[in-house]
Structure 1
């Protein structure tokens, strides 16, 4: 699931905002002539060898300077006094800033973790106080404070920002220290007022809480004959739980299809907002999602449709993020900031990559193969076809019995983590080191991983664990989240510079999470000996990319629409979302599935609580495929540590050094073509 953002990273500084336009107080008073004058004087004093740093640093400080920071004379004096040219002194400054930022970042993240516990963990009913504490951002004023005491200016002056284009052109020849200096330069590229940071925190927490509590009581669903199809105690979160239950039904050859059709109908009701409010997170009524009728004691009741709440949260997120445009003229839309700033991959390149795959002949041939394997024409929900996985032929009941016995609670999973790691190739000592820095907790929502941002903290692994024990779905999710926390631990403790800790973007942590998730049966001691295993795994990755790339294209195009219609109502956003989803479906999916105007690509919950995050998943799956190629025939544990200890290089350089090639759909399409020929 999503990896939560840090407080001091460039991405979080760029994300947190509310509806407010920059006024005169937010405009730099430093004129161009002053910048030229200071630059010339510093170059004369420190020499031409420092010219690039001086030009960049002075210009960056000038762009961030405000009237409240002092006069132009104060600006001149600051630059002359604070610029460091001596290499030894610069290194000392870098180390002291790194330590300070680690402490601030680490403790504010730790505080956020604690304040959000009642919302993220199943600790009883969520109260208003829980929501108020959870939405409170203790670090909201931190950036303002760092500018006020000049730490931000000292950082920007001595460690200037390099654009993605510059990093791409120069980074290949940079040393590790130069990269760390450049990442220090990413710290302060914009200046967002504290009240805007706090507002986004509130809006985002409200959206997350809405999604975390969006459960459907499956035992209360009935068909047209009044029959129930699911266990009475089965409660599933939308969309993740519904999707995973739909996947699990492929193993049931008798009633699985009927259950899948019912789940799909539930999903459509959620997208359309025709779902009765009475059945959301409540077991008071029975519900027929086909007729959209609710019953109590066998009698029909009046149903009240959800009032476009889903789409109002999208509007709230959009408005909270759009206002930052006036503070970041170099990246004047959230779309740019998300892709070029955070992902460090231009949105046009990402869209082109996705369209190349979803339009491919390999997808169409795979669709035909799935239809033959199912023995029926494809239906829209077969976008989640799970039959290429080894576990798909194992009854869910058998898998549940194994996992509930081995992992009766979160403590049992936490205790088993060293054994899981050693079974995957880690030495006992290294497995113990990693496991000691991961804490497992029972999640209220679908689950997530939240890494530490300082060496003295631990990563959190959260997944749902029913009272009966961790079922297979929970274990599968836990393995995904464990992959995140392994990455988070390695990239904090094994990376040479704190400013380089982490991964290029969230797609890279998703990649390792997918790799771990795929090894779930290995960990359970149920290794698949199928000679076609590799071919099947390739097509599984391809089909999964097909699904999530379509969802991501909907997400991207919805945000483009929002920028074109900034004052849209919740009803208008709903209509636009459904239209975009149907358009994407008709263009890239209808010919494969044989049906038009399907809205299913709009069901993903991340569209509501984590705007534009979805693209991290398909990018992560492409990276996963490239990683698996690299792991083949090599020590899995050693390669994971080697590759991920590179830290936060830009994506294409990380991949080039890690697996020998940049991001592309070509490897998976070529491998899929070979798999299809062999499976035929």
Structure 2
């Protein structure tokens, strides 16, 4: 963090002067003055001006402080809301299926309209009025003190989180530009599956099938489990595609193109029946990670959490990174995973393959031909308008009242996505949350429907945790894992929402094993994500090629330690395929935590009314993760409940 310009003796004297006037506020005065001093720069005024500012602007009367808080909350909502709307609309050409993406679209997509906002608020002294009166509490302080805080005290503490660092606007712009470039790169990483050829010259996939990496590749792999040997052949072909993407031996001209026939086993490319020579992709995948690393590392010296790793975990997730890694390793070392692996192998009637990290056979839909499901979804949702219109109906099927279902549905808009789809929340009351989903001209296929229901879960959380919140500064959830949890909970009910009911007496056991196995997969991927970033901080000048080799080696090491004992083979790189590593730096741990939270929430929801409990729980807002869980289900975050339930489920199976 940049060194402060205010001498210690000036800080101490300022604290003493204010404390003499408001002796009952001594603790708040000290925190507020010290934090403000850490953010003050020479351009804000000299030391005497700093001291005078603090003495004149500290608010010691409760009634005046309340009024100040209300005014600031209102204005921050206005600013955040409108800047959010500007970004949303500027990114539409990149995120939505509206014609060709041009270079100017990419430039505007990488532009951050709010990059100068923080600095403007500091320059105008608005930010300092807030830091002085609503000081910043560290994660450890929140965890220690928060247990006894009222809702208002939590709201006050969250206002203190708005101004914890002072990052130059040009660095924020660079982060936005690089992030947008990565997003564009990933959203166009389509593999034309209909042009994939095996060693016998056969094309096993439908001619018009296009699969976005990695999401659709993974989902198509899942869809082939019911097809036996034929499905296994296609799964092996998809895995070869994945490995070519990971090691960047994929011919660059087959990406997002249907001009060539490609054999991913031999890497042979033909056009019009003639073999052609095409250069491999030049480590572009890893250049995106390097670019993001450099842009985010440049911010380090301007923040109290002096690495992006700390900012992501201690700051954003409010769980320290070593604690996250310890929890994940504890799970990955559990013996119950070997037993589940044996069960899956028995069910498949073959040894496990690396891509069985995505085994989908515990789900109700695993016994249903996906073509049947796709026929149903295409008939029901030929376009985004029909899906949009059906949102209230979906909610009533989950037990929401007609009034609440319509109320939420009116605050969510469905848009045609260019990529796999995502949810974009509102940042002020009066705005819509947006559900972006990919619907082909032939109508919504089952894969798209399954993802859309996941994103709808996000939208429901985004709407409840904004509109039903008692204080604006508490809006949202503790971190993204908590919104992922509700998205998983919705996604799990996709067949129910299609009107397909299952009456399997072992349904609960199957669901437990399903969550366990998907958690196993995503924890390994998350561990890789963290270790890649640790490696980058140790090798800040690494080239994309060097990062590629390190990523593959780290992926193989994690595989050998935690997956080889279950799968029976070593040195597999599959954990490195996730696109989130490219365009959502250090996001993957949110999915792993989302699974843990989902499991604990599901255990609670099965004995309570679904709709009313979802509304109660997601009205809590931005408490710390453990405090949120205690209020939601009466226990802290832990993997033990899932592991113990899995042992019981295995006995039942």
TM-score bin (small chain) = over 0.9
Looking at structure 2, the residues matched to 86 and 170 of structure 1 have their Cα atoms a distance apart, in angstroms, of 22
Q: In the aligned structure 2, how far is the partner of 1:39 from the partner of 1:436?
A: 50
The aligned residue for residue 407 of structure 2 is: 433
Question: Aligned pair 1:645/2:619, yes or no?
Answer: yes
Provide Cα deviations, 1:276-324, integer angstroms capped at 9, x if missing partner.
0110000000000000010001111002100000000100000001122
Indicate whether 1:184 and 2:125 are aligned.
no
Paired with 1:572 and 1:92, the residues of 2 have a C-alpha distance of 55
Task: Give the ranges of 4+ consecutive aligned residues of structure 1 lying more than 2 Å apart after TM superposition.
Answer: none
Secondary structure of 1:440 counterpart: strand
Q: 2:11 aligns with which of 9, 14, 35?
A: 35
Q: Does 1:373 align with 2:343?
A: no
**Alignment partner, residue 602 of structure 1:** 576
Corresponding residue of 1:150: 125
Is the partner of 2:588 in helix, strand or coil?
coil
1:547 to 521, 546, 549: 521
Residue pairs, 1:41-56, within 5 angstroms: 41-47=17-23, 49-56=24-31
**Equivalent position of 1:3 in the other structure:** none
2:507 paired with 1:533: yes
- Aligned with residue 312 of structure 1, among 279, 287, 310: 287
In the alignment, what sits opposite 2:430?
A: 456
Among residues 200, 204, 219, which one is paired with 2:194 in the alignment?
Answer: 219
- Measure how far apart 1:594 and its partner are: 1.1
Normalising by the residue count of structure 1, what TM-score does the alignment of the two structures yield? 0.96
Structure 1 unmatched runs, 5+: 1-21
Q: Deviations for 1:229-262, whole angstroms, at most 9, x for unmatched residues?
A: 1111111100001000000000212410000000
Q: 2:397 aligns with which of 406, 414, 423?
A: 423
Distance in 1, matches of 2:28 and 2:417, equals 47
Kept in 2, the 8 Å contact 1:156–1:185? The answer is yes
- RMSD of aligned alpha carbons: 0.7
Q: TM-score, normalised by structure 2?
A: 0.99
Q: Secondary structure at the match of 2:162?
A: coil
1:618-673 alpha-carbon deviations (Å, 9 max, x no partner): 10000000000110121100000111100000000000110111110000000000
Structure-2 residue corresponding to 1:576? 550
After superposition, residues 117-516 of structure 1 pair within 5 angstroms as: 117-328=92-303, 330-516=304-490
Q: Does 1:593 align with 2:564?
A: no
The match for 2:633 is: 659
Q: What SS class does the counterpart of residue 295 from structure 1 fall into?
A: strand
Q: Distance in 1 between matches of 2:226 and 2:375?
A: 16
Deviation at 1:154? Answer: 0.4
1:201 deviates by 0.5
Give, in whole Å, the separation in 2 of the partners of 1:233 and 1:98.
Answer: 51
- The question of whether the paired residues in 2 share the 8 Å contact of 1:293 and 1:303 is answered with no
| CA distance in structure 2 between the aligned counterparts of 1:90 and 1:223, rounded to whole angstroms | 70
Query: Number of matched residues?
Result: 653
| 1:86 corresponds to which of 61, 81, 86 | 61
Residue deviations 1:421-475 (CA, integer Å, cap 9, x gap): 0000000000000000000011101110000000011000011100000011111
User: Residues of 1 paired with 2:314 and 2:282: CA distance?
Assistant: 35
Find the counterpart in structure 1 of residue 51 from structure 2: 76
CA drift of 1:32 comes to 0.3
Secondary structure of 2:607's match? coil
Give the Cα separation in 1 of the matches to 2:100 and 2:338. 47
* Counterpart Cα distance in 2 of 1:125 and 1:356: 47
Q: Is the 8 A contact 1:27 1:66 kept in 2?
A: no
For residues 542-590 of structure 1, what are the alpha-carbon distances to aligned partners after superposition, in whole Å with 9 as ceiling and x for unaligned?
A: 0000000000000100111000000011110000000000000000001
5+ unaligned residues in a row in structure 2: which ranges? none
d(CA) in 1 for partners of 2:48 and 2:350? 77
Q: Relative to structure 2, which stretch is displaced further, 643-652 or 251-260? A: 251-260
Distance 2:331 2:280 in 1: 37
Superposed displacement of residue 332, structure 1: 1.5
